[in-house]
Chain A
Amino acid sequence: EPEVTQTPSHQVTQMGQEVILRCVPISNHLYFYWYRQILGQKVEFLVSFYNNEISEKSEIFDDQFSVERPDGSNFTLKIRSTKLEDSAMYFCASSDYDTQYFGPGTRLTVL
């Protein structure tokens, strides 16, 4: 069964450093998303991406964040200058219409 994959599973970085989280969505899906879950909190929407552009972004998704689909398979989330409060699980999701399928997540730890 097709699945969403994410790498790395765990990323540790120093505050102020740039990180890139990678996702391979399900191959025939057209809609791509990033969510995050801070420990003990809800899963929160960050950004949606369709037709090679951002379709919606949340207040969390400020100028430090960017997304890209550099080729036909990868979907990346870049955080330019990480802050302590960016520590969270980051989930990628994809859908062909209305049901989103999630990857296993990347645990980002900012020291």
Chain B
Amino acid sequence: GAGVSQTPSNKVTEKGKYVELRCDPISGHTALYWYRQSLGQGPEFLIYFQGTGAADDSGLPNDRFFAVRPEGSVSTLKIQRTERGDSAVYLCASSLAGPSTDTQYFGPGTRLTVL
């Protein structure tokens, strides 16, 4: 079956612009996570959705970052007024229901470069 997909695979933008990153989770997975991976680092948690609602957004670095999941499937991560420090690979993961023991399945990521 299809895994987690993310689009675009690469995004280059200029400082100050707005970007949207899309995640299509595995069909039937109710839990969805966004992580950010900077060069040479492990992924860092951004936000967790259970269904349509953001159950934990404590990892979002500031109010320029926002994410939605309006129908409980596809999610979009939105970054306003991008800064060079936002450059990273943004990873999306989904799991069947969300408990700690659930396996999270990761997409290939979107590499964001802010010039």
Q: Do A and B come from one complex?
A: no
